[in-house]
Structure 1
Amino acid sequence: MELSEVMRTTFSCRQWTDEPVDDATIYRILDNARFAPNGGNRQGWHVTVVKDRAIREQFKSLIKPATNQYVAQVAAGEAPWNTIVPSTIDLEAERSIDKDFPGVNEMVEAPAVLVISVDLSVVCSFDSILDRVGVISGASIYPFVWSILLAARNEGLAGVLTTYLSYAETEVQQLLGLPEHYAVAAMVPLGHPVKQLTKLKRNPVEDFANVDRFDGGPFTA
């Protein structure tokens, strides 16, 4: 496939057929994704290919409080799990109230499930001194995760980058035998999509690119 086609048609898939994904295909995907850029080329990523259905089943209960809060905040018109705008609802209470979050069962039961973690002892975090949530560490792991999705698209597969498993990081570390300094970065289900989307909706370049300053004129060709 042409690179531009892969980039423009790699969508967030949450429904898959029952067709299995063999180990050789997963290996090829990871073999290509490992060339992703990362800080200092330290390659602090680790992939756990979760085949055990009993482990996957436990993910559902671990994810539940996070998705409960997510649904409650969306219903309240809020950006869920946001660190800038304070919530107007009782978040702790909402996490314990069971709410439907479509797609969780399908994602946990996908033909392939990868849990990606990152070794925090090797990543650079230039923003660690700032009084806000850190984002720089993600530069050493999420290009790798995105490369997994691009490589999967090239194989005729589709997946989705999910992060709610990080809510239960301590439990996930124990469940998967991860060292304490390995942060849970993503859970990526993969499989053959029920429907391959080819026309994705995204804002035009002029909506997010400006010249010289945030309030500068829009950048155009």
Structure 2
Amino acid sequence: MELSEAMRTTGAVRAFTSDPVPPEVLHRVLDDARFAPSGGNQQGWHVTLVRDPALRRRLADMSARTWERYLAEQAAGFRAFNPLDPAPPDVEVPEGLRPHPMLEAIEDVPEVLLVTVDLRTLAVMDRDLDRFSIIGGASLYPFVQNLLLAARNQGLGGVVTTFLAASEPEAGPLVGLPEGHAIAALVGLGTPVHQVSRLRRHPVEAFTTVDRVDGPAFTLDA
């Protein structure tokens, strides 16, 4: 698949057919994804293929608790889990919240990948700033995005969830997470029930400026 098409059509796929992912296809996906950049080329990521249905269900249930909290904070008018405008801890979880499709059917997802990272491999340039850190993810999440792009190239789809990270103290022992490692994502892969073909994103002019963050928009006429 041509790169531009893959980038423009790799949407979040949360519902999958029952078709298995052949081992050689999954290997190709991982083999391509590994060429993601990372700080110092440390490649601190690790992928665990979660195939035990009981383990999948426990991880999904932990993730679902955070998903429900996410929806509850949104329903209360907050940007969910935002550290600058946090919702109060006693925010009410309303009845009838929609379940997450992948988590609800986790036992039937063709492949579930747990992505973790060795924290010792990260160079976190903003660690001493008086705000929450974002830089460490630059050595990990390009790999996760590569997983999705590589899967799309193989005719598959996937979705990245990060809900499980909130339950790391509980989930870590279940998956043998070593000390100094962190849970980054739970990724579902498979053949999409419906392949997204058109994504909605802001135009270039909405997020690109010249010389300053508050400078003039970059346009073809600039």
TM-score, scaled to structure 1: 0.93
Number of the residue aligned with 2:120: 121
- 1:107-186 aligned within 5 A: 107=106, 109-186=108-185
Match of 2:99 among 101, 109, 121: 101
> Per the alignment, do residues 107 and 212 of structure 1 end up closer, same or farther by CA in structure 2, a change over 3 Å counting?
farther
Number of the residue aligned with 1:56: 56
- 1:178-197 aligned within 5 A: 178-197=177-196
Q: State how many pairs are aligned.
A: 219
Number of the residue aligned with 2:25: 25
Gaps in structure 2 of 5+ consecutive residues? none
Tell whether 2:217 aligns with 1:218.
yes
User: Which whole-Å CA distance do the structure 1 matches of 2:104 and 2:190 have between them?
Assistant: 14
Paired residues of 1:68 and 1:98 also in contact (CA < 8 A): no
Stretches of 4+ aligned residues off by more than 4 angstroms: none
> Per the alignment, do residues 201 and 69 of structure 1 end up closer, same or farther by CA in structure 2, a change over 3 Å counting?
same
> Which residue identity lines up with residue 144 of structure 2 in the other structure?
V
Paired residues of 2:46 and 2:116 also in contact (CA < 8 A): yes
Provide the aligned C-alpha RMSD in A: 1.8
User: 1:106 deviation in Å?
Assistant: 3.0
User: 1:181 deviation in Å?
Assistant: 1.0
User: 1:102 deviation in Å?
Assistant: 3.0
Number of the residue aligned with 2:41: 41
3-state SS, counterpart of residue 21 of structure 1: coil
Q: Percent identity?
A: 47
User: 1:33 deviation in Å?
Assistant: 0.5
Paired residues of 1:14 and 1:106 also in contact (CA < 8 A): no
Deviations 1:155-197 (A, max 9, x none): 0000011100101112221111110211101111000001111
User: Which whole-Å CA distance do the structure 2 matches of 1:52 and 1:107 have between them?
Assistant: 11
TM-score, scaled to structure 2: 0.93
Deviations 1:13-55 (A, max 9, x none): 0111111112221111111111100000011000001111111
